[in-house]
Amino acid sequence: RWRCACCSKEFVGLPTDLAFDAPVDPDALDEVARSTFRKNDDFCLVSYATGQTDRFIRCLLPLPVPALTDEFCFGVWISVSERSWNVYRDGYDSGQYEDELCFGYLMHDIPEYPSSMHLHANVVFQPGNMRPKVFLHDADHPLVVAQRDGVDVEQIERWVALTHRP
pLDDT digits (tens, 9 = 90+) for 18-36: 899 999 999 999 999 999 9
pLDDT score at 7:
66
Task: Tell me which residues of the chain have a pLDDT lower than 50.
Answer: 165
2 is a domain residue: no
72 is a domain residue: yes
pLDDT score at 129:
79
What range does the domain containing 73 cover?
A: 17-151
pLDDT score at 164:
59
pLDDT score at 11:
65
Are the C-beta atoms of residues 23 and 77 closer than 8 Å to each other? yes
6 is a domain residue: no
160 is a domain residue: no
Measured CA to CA, the distance from residue 87 to residue 93 in angstroms comes to 12
65 is a domain residue: yes
pLDDT score at 139:
77
Number of structural domains found in the chain: 1
62 is a domain residue: yes
pLDDT score at 127:
86
162 is a domain residue: no
The beta-strand segments (E) located in the chain are: 2-3, 10-11, 17-19, 38-39, 43-47, 53-63, 72-80, 101-106, 120-124, 133-136
4 is a domain residue: no
